[in-house]
Amino acid sequence: MDALLEIMRKRRSIRKYTGEHVSEEDLKKILQAGLLAPTGKNLKSAEFVVVRDRETLDKLADSRSIGAATLKGADAAIIVIGFSQIQDVWTEDCSIALTQMHLMAASLGVGSVWIQSRLRQSAVAGKSTDEYLHELLGIPADYCCEGILSLGMPDEAKDAYDLPDPAADARVHAGKFDSTNYDKIRLFGG
Ligand SMILES: Cc1cc2nc3c(=O)[nH]c(=O)nc-3n(C[C@H](O)[C@H](O)[C@H](O)COP(=O)(O)O)c2cc1C
């Protein structure tokens, strides 16, 4: 079976970690996967803040009111930020980089999960996640925060997905939009 497809089938969001160290070698490969990601007009708007110290990782958990508690147990985090001054599609650039790093981590046996930053609120009343991260990490105002890749050695095992069959999957429309699927899935929840 195709090696990349197999990694994608087995990739899962891992939120529980053993506390064991993610090696510098693995972290380097994960960052390489992010740096290799394609960007609109090749502007390379995505940048990466790598955090390994416990105090900052704990503070990162408060970057969200809910949904970021896993960072309390993480060994490392990569905050993906986009230089929005030069790039209108910075969010796409950052999302692809995050995805490639998430997949690379999975292929190395390192657990990871995407923690959303854009359009979210921090645990501090009235402060957005974006504002919180700018302050905590000293990020200049002309960058926007897309998300955080939380990393650690896995302390949970999740089932791989079955290989989907595009011909039998209602999300795939042949030739034109099939409204049978819309009525069935989107309006009435399948
Ligand atoms: C755009 C995006 C935002 C996400 N935000 C969070 C988040 O803030 N916290 C979290 O624990 N998981 C988050 N996730 C992980 C999803 O919950 C997870 O991918 C989904 O439930 C499917 O599970 P799987 O990744 O194991 O296949 C996010 C994933 C994506 C793609």
Q: Looking at residue 88, what is its pLDDT?
A: 97
pLDDT of 80-119, one tens digit each?
A: 999 999 999 999 999 999 999 999 999 999 999 999 999 9
Pocket test for ligand 1, best of 63, 113, 122, 156 (most atoms within 8 A of CB): 113
**Is any atom of ligand 1 closer than 6 Å to the C-beta of 15?**
yes
Q: Looking at residue 85, what is its pLDDT?
A: 94
**Is any atom of ligand 1 closer than 6 Å to the C-beta of 115?**
yes
Question: How many whole angstroms separate alpha carbon 141 and alpha carbon 158?
Answer: 39
CB atoms within 10 A of CB 99: 16
What's the CATH number for 3-157? 3.40.109.10
Q: Looking at residue 111, what is its pLDDT?
A: 98
Which residue ranges in the chain fall short of pLDDT 50?
none
Distance 121 CA to ligand 1 centre (A): 16
Residues 116-142 as b/e (b if ≥16 CB within 10 A, e otherwise) read: bbbebbbbeeebbbbebbbebbebeee
Domain ranges, ordered by start, for the chain: 3-157, 160-190
Write the CA distances from 114 to 12, 186, 187, integer angstroms.
Answer: 10, 25, 28
Q: Which residue has the tokens 């009235």?
A: 126
Pocket test for ligand 1, best of 116, 145, 149 (most atoms within 8 A of CB): 116
**Is any atom of ligand 1 closer than 6 Å to the C-beta of 67?**
yes
Residue among 104, 103, 87 nearest 47 (CA): 87
